Amino acid sequence: MPGTTYDIAIAGAGAAGLTLAYKLLNSSLRNKKILIIDKSDKDVNDRTWCFWTDKKTGFESIVFRKWSRVLFKNKRQQKVLDMHPYEYQMIRGIDFYNYIKDKIKHHRNVDWITDEIIATEDINGHVEISTEKSTFKSLLAFNSIPAKTPDFLLRKNNFLLQHFKGFIIQTASDVFDPETPCLMDFSVKQHGETRFGYILPFSSNEGLVEFTIFSDKLLKKGNYDELLANYLHHHLGINEYTIKEEEFGVIPMTDHQPDLSNSKKIIPIGTRGGMTKASTGYTFKNILDECSYIVEQLETGSLNILSTKKRFKFYDSILLHVLSKDLLPADEIFSDLFLKNDPKVILKFLDEKTTMTEDLQILGSLPALPFIKGLWFSLFSMGKKKISIEPE
């Protein structure tokens, strides 16, 4: 509350902010005075998070669905990929919010403020968080609110937007295989971009169907519904369905790095802290690892920022350049990755856990010339442009 100096403040109650709060409350730091500020009460199902894992995450009790195999499809073929020992897991936003809010309500040392954050500043060794209604003070702050990065600065680096529209539908007949989600369906027209369908079946007649695009700009609002309806009708043969829920999302895919030098008291986390993998947009599992690492660091009395291995950032930069310049159609790239390699090794590669030998085998399955061009661009440009991030 105003007048209180908190030990830790968390700006933003999304995946990163709430995961950090949860990890803190399950650690030796559980009695620290903690502040959470978000403009929303987090009482609606506004998103879903999906990730693959071969280990316990701590959120098993709220996993909505999980699968041990996935379908990959393009215009020429389709293949069911066995993921074992990995599982593809789905967590609904509302289940995640309620789970952590229930944990929080048992700790009187945690205050949740619903308000719009205007500024977060390092002032004389403490953090001051200004909201529309008040001002709060903390010794340390973690900021997960998406940054507003100037458009012209982003475009100095490789930059794409992953934008998608999804319907959770119930159909009149059995149309889904409940055991096999479709990770990527590249049978759709690409139009010089990266476009694919994505299907998460909940049962034989209910599931989430999304249409996803990687491009440098968004479509008009109505276009997403048209593309999704067309995909359902022409590609899945689904004509009779009831829309139970809708979701829309935009994920930045860029190789620019967040500026971590402005303050040792205000630490960016989540997407703001660089936890969104540039080449895929997957974030949730990286957030779990990041928050565990932060809590471990705080328990030892220090805090060094978790960073991605440089060679994987380099790979992401090359792939983003190839995609953004359309040097090779995306359906060919992802088809080569998933159909020419062991899917378990690909998932390990995307988790940034592979060896150099495994990396070379995977990269060797891709056409050489477009990636040599992407390599040249990355070598020429990496490390030469500093991107500043404006607080929201």
Exposure string for 281-290, b = 16+ CB within 10 A, e = fewer: bbbbbbbbeb
Between 379 and 374, the more confident residue is: 374
Between 218 and 254, the more confident residue is: 218
Between 368 and 54, the more confident residue is: 54
96 CB-near residues (< 8 Å, 6+ apart): 15, 18, 49, 59, 62
Distance in angstroms (rounded) separating the CA atoms of residues 153 and 147: 13
The model's pLDDT over 120-139, given as tens digits with 9 standing for 90+, comes to 999 888 999 999 999 999 99
Write down the pLDDT at residue 177.
97
The pLDDT > 70 percentage for the chain reads 90
Least confident of 14-23, 28-37, 67-76, 301-310: 301-310
pLDDT band at 152 (very low <50, low <70, confident <90, very high): very low
Least confident of 169-178, 212-221, 262-271, 301-310: 301-310
- Average pLDDT over every residue of 342-361: 93
Residue 174 reports pLDDT greater than 60: yes
Write down the pLDDT at residue 154.
54
Residue 231 reports pLDDT greater than 70: yes
pLDDT band at 321 (very low <50, low <70, confident <90, very high): confident
pLDDT band at 262 (very low <50, low <70, confident <90, very high): low
Q: Can you list the pairs that 198-204 forms with residues at least 24 positions away whose Cβ atoms lie under 8 Å?
A: 198/164, 198/166, 199/71, 199/236, 200/48, 200/50, 200/65, 200/90, 201/176, 201/177, 202/64, 202/65, 202/168, 202/176, 202/178, 203/176, 203/178, 204/174, 204/175, 204/176, 204/177, 204/178
- Residue ranges with strand state E in the chain: 5-6, 8-11, 34-38, 48-53, 63-67, 69-73, 78-82, 87-92, 110-114, 117-123, 126-131, 135-138, 141-143, 159-171, 182-185, 194-203, 206-215, 241-254, 266-268
- Average pLDDT over every residue of 187-215: 96
Write down the pLDDT at residue 134.
94
